[in-house]
Every structure is written in C-alpha cells, then in structure tokens.
Amino acid sequence: MNTADIRLVVLDMAGTTVADGGLVERAFAAAAADLGVEPGSAEHAEHLAYVRATMGESKISVFRHLFGDEERARRANTAFEKAYGELVDAGLIAPVPGAREAIEELTGSGRTVVLTTGFARVTQDAILDALGWRDLVPLTLCPADAGGRGRPYPDMVLAAFVRTKAAEDVTQIAVAGDTSYDVLSGVRAGAGLVAGVRTGAHGDAEFRAAGATHVLDSVADLPALITGTE
C-alpha cells in the first residue's frame, strides 16, 4: 500500500511510546504476593514467564488465565494496578526517546493519533498525567473503552476507527506496538500498516510470526515511514 494514505495511527503505550523499565514485572510480583504466590517458587516463575509471553494483552485477561476464578483474578488485577500506579507516581516512567516528537509530527501532517493500552483506565490516566500527555492526542483507549476486550482482539483499533472517523477505510490505519499482541490486533483489524517496534517486550521473530508489515527500531522511526521521507 501507499503509506502516505494512512490517516489514523494507533499506538501502544508501555514499551512503545512509554519506557517503563520493567515495571509490569515489578507490579506483577506485588499482585502475585497478594494472592500468596511466593517469589522464587516454581509457581511464581511459571506465572512470570506467562506474563512476559503475553505482554500487550489485557491484564485482567492474563490474571483470569493465571488465577482461574473471577474473584481471584480481579483481586490480582486490583493489586497490580495499585502497584503499577505507585511506581508511576514515583517517577519511574518516561517517554520513549522521540515518541512525543513522533506523535506531534504525525499530528502535524494531518493524521490522527490514538494511544491504547492493556491497562485499566485508572493506570492509563496515571501514565498520561505523569508524562503531561493529557492533551497530546484526541483519544486514548483501554480495553473497557472498547467493550472490555483488549489485545489481541482488534476491538481497540476498530474503536479508534469508529470514534475518530479519521479514516474512510481500515487500510488507512497504521498500528504500532512492542508486542506480538499489538501486531495481531492490527492485523485482525485490517490495518494497512502494522509495525512491531524493538523498544519493548518482543522481537523480530514474534512480530513477523504475528503478521507485521514492518519492524522498526523505535516508534520515532514511524513518521518517516508513513510520510515517505525515510
């Protein structure tokens, strides 16, 4: 496709536009401890491996898989969100270098940018506030904003398409993220450009297996790809 036709750009947050330095794993450890999973145990190691493999997926979905019943999953999710929020409040996140500039460049070229996450809204808002990004884009989405289904479902990408009305066709959407789940959600939504970025959880093999059209070192490289100035 002609990348210049892209009208809507849907970007992941943690690991893609936001550098969080492994805070997901630290917050998971707090959630696991809350449910009695001992650090250093085989169960803890098994759970952590699953968390790493499913980076990008809606966190409540991850906890439903790990802890089974809904009450325990919600308890774990609440503990996770609380721990992650405290780490954010402690100033332990920052923009990925060049991310804000990339978003501003894409917006300046007449395109609409939407930020999405697998976190709950309270955590997403904490990140936006910590970075001063509240007014950076016209729309931010978490799984609950798209009917409750996060990645790898295409719902958040399609919600961005419907709500912004920025594009006439799904092929005019670009999706970028640091996990195979970001890529898969873009592919399932029919996005014309789906890029994996090497600043987070997954790498080239996972991106290609999920159907990425491009693999980039960073989201900072996305404007040049879309505008054809690279």
Q: Which pLDDT score, from 0 to 100, does residue 1 have?
A: 65
Distances, alpha carbon 76 to alpha carbons 37, 82, 148, 207, in Å = 11, 10, 17, 29
Query: Quick count: other Cβ atoms within 10 Å of Cβ 171?
Result: 15
Tokens of 121: 């809204």
Binned average pLDDT, 10 residues per bin, the chain of 230 residues: 89 94 85 85 89 82 88 90 90 94 96 94 92 96 92 96 98 96 97 96 94 98 85
Backbone torsions φ then ψ of 100, nearest 5 degrees: -60, -45
| Contact in structure between 178 and 204 (CB atoms under 8 Å) | no
First-to-last CA distance in the chain? Answer: 16
Q: Which pLDDT score, from 0 to 100, does residue 12 have?
A: 97
Q: Which helix (H) or strand (E) holds 12?
A: strand 8-12
Q: Which pLDDT score, from 0 to 100, does residue 229 have?
A: 62
Instruction: DSSP letter for 14, please.
Output: B
Q: Which pLDDT score, from 0 to 100, does residue 211 have?
A: 97
Q: Which pLDDT score, from 0 to 100, does residue 13 have?
A: 95
CA distance 197 to 176: 7
